[in-house]
Structure 1
Amino acid sequence: MLASIKEKTKSEKVLLMLSIFGLVAMFVYVTLIWSELPETIPRHFNSKGEPDGFGGKGSILVLPFVGLGIFILTTLLSQIPNAFNDPDRVTEEQKQRLYIHGRICMSFLQTQIIYFLLYGVWQTAQVALGKASGLGIYVLPIFLFIIFGTIIYFTVRGQRMYRKE
């Protein structure tokens, strides 16, 4: 049974490919626009999405490398069944189902974060190039709604899976 829990589900495979695509897109986009970027670009945005901190154009590389770090960390962490906090009285069958459920949750979160960072890279470049004035006021609330919505959904679903038996 251990081999079956190591096997990725179809949704995990799709989300993995989407995450890899998002990471590659970030690095390719930065490479393509690098020569067009001014020497000083926004590196921080306030809660309204307006730039309030500036740095050298190399600061645009922070987001792709943060995305890569998150990708590596979450991919490695999802391979460790004991990293998930299961209830004390869980059967082996429940533990396996909850582990797969947790991996799927982590895959969704990984993909969402990478695409938020991809948007951040793109929008930072747009602001730096004078094509936009900021991220927009709704970006942060939408991102937080999506992330917390995913966490709540998977938490409630995991509780229901645990209580079924």
Structure 2
Amino acid sequence: MGNSSRPDIDIEKPFLHKVLDIIGITALLLVLASIVINWSSIPETVPQHFNATGEPDRWGDKWTIFLLPSIGVILWIGLSFLERIPQSFNYVVKIKEGNAERQYYFAVTLIRLIKNEISIFFALLTQMIVQMWNGQQDGLQFWVIPVFLVILFGTLIIYIVKSIQWR
């Protein structure tokens, strides 16, 4: 694609980004710790999939409870490495010397927001599954998926609009 002509700029991680990272990874680690602590009380089968109304429609072995938080941790780590190389990203505008730093900064911010939104969402879903096996709720609450999708796609749309404005 010819990204070699793009400037290689180090993007500083501001305090807010560090806070977001701490919140995202802490949510996943806390839910993993909760599973480990409560392992003996977890039933042998746990919900794996939910229908449109939030009711479980597929069940699996209790080890599958680790699936979402583990995927979340792997994504979090992978996206953390990816955000270090913004010059290799695809952009909606042409990257030049004059706009590179701003475009890189906001692209890295986008990746950080997305990785932490996904982390918090996976932790929340896992916690809801935990509440189901504890008898504290019957299924997923109806608002969870739509709110997550609005947040995730809202973040992307705002980034694309702003990226075009910051040419």
TM-score by length of 1: 0.90
1:24 counterpart = 2:29? yes
Given that 2:8 and 2:87 are in contact with CA atoms closer than 8 Å, whether structure 1 keeps it comes out as no
1:148 counterpart = 2:139? no
1:66 counterpart = 2:65? no
Q: CA deviation at 1:109?
A: 0.9
Identity of aligned residues (%): 32
- For structure 1, list consecutive stretches of 5 or more residues without a partner in the other structure: none
Q: CA deviation at 1:88?
A: 6.2
State the aligned residue count. 161
Amino acid at match of 2:23: L
Amino acid at match of 2:19: V
Bigger Cα displacement from structure 2, 84-93 vs 52-61? 84-93
Q: 2:130 aligns with which of 125, 130, 133?
A: 125
Q: Hey, which of these two has a bigger chunk of helix by percent?
A: 1
- For structure 2, list consecutive stretches of 5 or more residues without a partner in the other structure: 1-6
Given that 1:38 and 1:129 are in contact with CA atoms closer than 8 Å, whether structure 2 keeps it comes out as no
1:69-105 superposed Cα distances (whole Å, 9 cap, x missing partner): 1101110110112331135643213112111101111
What residue number does 2:47 align with?
Answer: 42
Q: CA 1:105 to 1:87, structure 2 compared with 1: closer, same or farther past 3 Å?
A: closer
Given that 1:40 and 1:56 are in contact with CA atoms closer than 8 Å, whether structure 2 keeps it comes out as yes
Q: 1:14 aligns with which of 3, 14, 19?
A: 19
1:23-49 superposed Cα distances (whole Å, 9 cap, x missing partner): 211211111221111101111112221
| Correspondence 1:71-150 to 2 at 5 A | 71-87=76-92, 89-150=94-155
Secondary structure, aligned partner of 2:54 = coil
Moved over 3 A (4+): none
1:104-151 superposed Cα distances (whole Å, 9 cap, x missing partner): 111111111111111111111111222211111111111101111111
Q: CA 1:153 to 1:39, structure 2 compared with 1: closer, same or farther past 3 Å?
A: same
Residues in 2 aligned to 1:56 and 1:145: alpha-carbon distance in whole angstroms: 31
TM-score by length of 2: 0.89
Q: CA 1:92 to 1:63, structure 2 compared with 1: closer, same or farther past 3 Å?
A: same
